[in-house]
With several copies, the nearest count.
Chain A
Amino acid sequence: MTATDTASATELRNLGYGAAFTETLRQIMAEDEDVFVAGEDVGAAGGVFGSFTGLQAEFGPMRSVDTPISEQAIVGLGIGAAVSGLRPVVDLMFMDFVLVAMDQIVNQAAKLKYMFGGNTSLPMTITTNAGAGLSAAAQHSQSLEALLCHVPGLKVVMPSNSHDVKGLLTASIREDNPVVFIKHKRLLGQKGHCPEALFEIPLGRASISRPGDDLTIVTYGRMVSESLKAASVLAGEGVDVEVIDLRTLQPVDTDAIVASVQRTNHCVVAHEAVRFGGLGAEIASHVQEHAFDYLDAPVGRVGAPFSPVPFTPALESLYVPDAARIAEGVRSTLARS
C-alpha cells in the first residue's frame, strides 16, 4: 500500500486538503487497529471542520471518540493510550487551544521518553488547525508552531497541499514520537493533486516547490502558495526565486536550506506567525551561521507584525503576510546585496 515520497505521474487525482486528511485517516484506521481519533465533536459530527467525517460511522464510537471540552484530558488520553501501545490521534480544534493543553504537551508528552530513560515510546499525533484570515479574532487565528519547535521531544509538521497532507499524516501517525500535525484552516478547501494509496513523506525532509537561482525563500504551510505567487511576480522582474517548502518544522531540514542558499546566495524566510521569535528567526540564524560566506545580503524575514490578530477584515488583511509582502521582502533583500 505504501509508495515513496514522489507519487507516480500516472495518478492525477484532485482532492481537497481537508478531504485528503480525512481519507488518509480512514485508510490508516482501516489498516491499523491501534489507531483511533479523539477530540471535541470529532465523532458523531465529524469535526467542526469536517475533518473526521464518516469515521465514526465506519469504525464506531470507540475508535472515533467524542470527548468533553477538556483539552488537557484529551492530550492526556493520547499519552496514556500511546504508552499503553495504541497509536492515538487526538484533535485540538484550533491551534490556539494548544495553549490550554500546554502542560500535557510540553511537560508530559515531549519529555516522557527522556525522563523515563528511554523506557517507553509515544506514538501519538496531535492534530490541530492554525492560521488567520477568517475574521476569527485573536484567540482563533494564531500560528504557534514556534512554541512547539523549541521543545525537545516533539516533532512538528505543517503541510502546504493535499499531497503532502497525505504523505505527512501517514508518516506522522506511523511515527513513534509525539507529532503535532498542523493544518491551515484556509487551506482546508484547497484542491490539489493527491494519490489515493497511502504513502509516507519522511519527517524532516523539505521539498523544493519551485527551483530557482537568485534567492531562496524558505517557507511552509499556507505561505508556500503565497511564496509561489510572489515568485511568479518576481520572475516577471527577472528574479529567479527558489521556494523551499519545509513540510516538517521540527526537525527542520537545514541541509536542504543551506545547500540552496549556497547556490542562490540570498535567503528570505516567510511564515504567517509573528515575526519576532518565530521559526524564521531560527532559520535565519542557522543560515547566517552555516552559509555566512555565501550570503550576499542578510537573510530577510517576513512574518506577522507584533500584535494579536485583529478581528476586522480591514486590519486582518494588513496583518497576514501575503505574496506582495513576500515579494517586497525578496526585493529588499536583493537590494542589499
Chain B
Amino acid sequence: MEVTSEVLLDLHRRMVRIRRFEEAAGTLFENSEMPGFIHLYVGEEAVASGVCAALRVEDQVGSTHRGHGHLVAKGGDVSRMMAELMGKSTGYNHGKGGSMHICDLDLNMLGANGIVGGGIPIAVGAAFANKYKGSDAVSVVFFGDGATNIGAFHEAINMAAALKLPAVFVCENNEYGEFTPRRQTMAIDDVVDRAAGYGIPGVVVDGMDAIAVYEAATEAVARARAGHGPAFIEAKTYRYYNHHGVQTLGTKYRDDDEVARWRERDPITLIEQRMVALDIASTEELEATHRRIQADVDAAIEFAKSSPFPEPESLLEDVYTGGA
C-alpha cells in the first residue's frame, strides 16, 4: 500500500491533537479542576489515529472508557470535549455524560462506555444497521486487551462473524487491565489468537506505528466494506500514565524500565522522525503543528472554563424521548 504524504500529515495531526488534549485534561484533572475519573490515551495515539484516518464520516466508531482519543481521532471538537469533561452545558453531552460517555453521533462516534466490553455489542448493532440499509459504512470498535475476557466481547464478535457484518474489531493491547498484567488473565501470547475462534482474519500491528495501523485498518475496512465480513486487528501499544488520571498511586504495578522502554518508541516521535527523514515536513513545520493544535486546546480549556454548568431544570430532561 502506498501511504501518501497527505496521510502522514493527517496521522500526525490526529496524534498531536490527541496528545495535546490528553495532556491538558490530565493536568486539569491532577489540579482538581476536572471532576470524576479520566482514562488518558497518551501513548496509544497511533491506534485511534491510524484507524480513524482509514474511515469515512459515515463509518461508526465504538469506544471504551478510554475514549477521548477515539473521538479526537474521529474529528471531535476539542472545545465541546473539554467542556463535557468539565461538566459544562456546552459539552457534547451537556455535562450529563462526562469522560466515560462522551460521544458525537453526528460523527458516528457512538460514545465512550463505562462498562468494559459494553460498547462492542452496540457497535455490532450499528454494523448490522449498515448491512440492513444497504449502506457500505463500516462499524469499527475499539476495546482493550482486558475487555477480550468479558462475555459481551465474545458474543458480539461472534455475532458479527455469524451474520457477516461490516465490522472491524480493534484491540488496543496495552498489556494491562487496570493494574493487572494481561498474561495473568489469559493464557495466550497474542490477543489476536482469539480471532480464529470466530472464523475471522486477524493481524498484529505495531501500535506505536501509526502508518502500520493505518495500513492494517485500511485493509480490514475495505474488506468489510466490500461485504466480506469482520476482521480483527491487535495493536500492541502502551499507556504512559496510570489507569486513570496521570500518576500511579498506591502499589506500583509496572517497572519504570518498562515504561521507559515504551516511551522510547513514542508514536509521535516515530512518525515525526519518519516525516523529517522523508522530507514530508521540517522540524519547524512539525513544531508549528504542535503550536497550532496547542492553541486549539488552550482555546478549548478557555471555552470549557467559561461555559456555564447546566441548569437545574435539565436534571430530569432527556430521560426519555418525548418526555417521561
Contact = CB atoms under 8 A, between A and B. Distances in A.
Interface of A: 36, 40-41, 43-46, 48, 50, 53, 62-63, 65-86, 88, 96-97, 100, 103-104, 107-108, 112-123, 134-140, 152-153, 155, 176-177, 251, 305-308, 310-315, 318-319
Interface in B39-58: none
B155 A73 contact: yes
Nearest to B144: A69
A72 B126 CA distance: 15
B309 interface: yes
29 contacts: A40-B177, A41-B179, A41-B180, A45-B251, A66-B180, A69-B117, A70-B158, A71-B155, A73-B155, A73-B156, A73-B159, A77-B121, A80-B121, A80-B127, A83-B126, A84-B125, A84-B130, A84-B133, A86-B129, A104-B122, A113-B321, A115-B111, A135-B87, A310-B96, A312-B35, A314-B312, A315-B96, A315-B315, A318-B312
A126 to B, nearest CB: 13
Contact of A44 (B92, B116, B179): B179
A310 B130 contact: no
A154 to B, nearest CB: 9
A73 B121 contact: yes
Given A68-B162, A137-B98, 14 more contacts: A65-B163, A67-B159, A68-B149, A69-B149, A73-B159, A77-B121, A77-B125, A108-B115, A134-B37, A137-B100, A138-B97, A311-B98, A312-B95, A318-B315
A73 B121 CA distance: 5
A306 B163 contact: no
A134 B126 CA distance: 32
B36 A314 contact: no
Interface residues of B, number: 76
Contacts of B111: 112, 115-116
A50 B126 CA distance: 28
Contacts of B117: 69
Interface in B84-120: 87-88, 91-98, 100-101, 103, 105, 110-111, 113-118, 120
A80 B152 contact: no
B178 A40 contact: yes
A312 B131 contact: no
Contact of A107 (B118, B131, B146, B149): B118
Contacts, number: 278
Contacts of A79: 121-122, 125
A311 B158 CA distance: 33
A311 B149 contact: no
Nearest to A315: B315
B322 A176 contact: yes
B128 A77 contact: yes
B83 to A, nearest CB: 10
Contact of A67 (B123, B127, B185, B316): B185
B197 interface: no
Nearest to B243: A48
B36 A137 contact: yes
Contacts of B101: 115-116, 137-139, 311
Contacts of A122: 321
B121 A72 contact: yes
B320 A81 contact: no
Contacts of B150: 68-71, 100
Nearest to B126: A80
B324 interface: yes
Contacts of A104: 118, 121-122, 152
A251 B121 contact: no
A43 B149 CA distance: 18
B310 interface: yes
A311 B87 contact: yes
A69 B185 contact: yes
Contacts of B162: 67-68
B324 to A, nearest CB: 6
B319 A152 contact: yes
A116 to B, nearest CB: 5
Contacts of A66: 180, 184-185
Contacts of B199: none
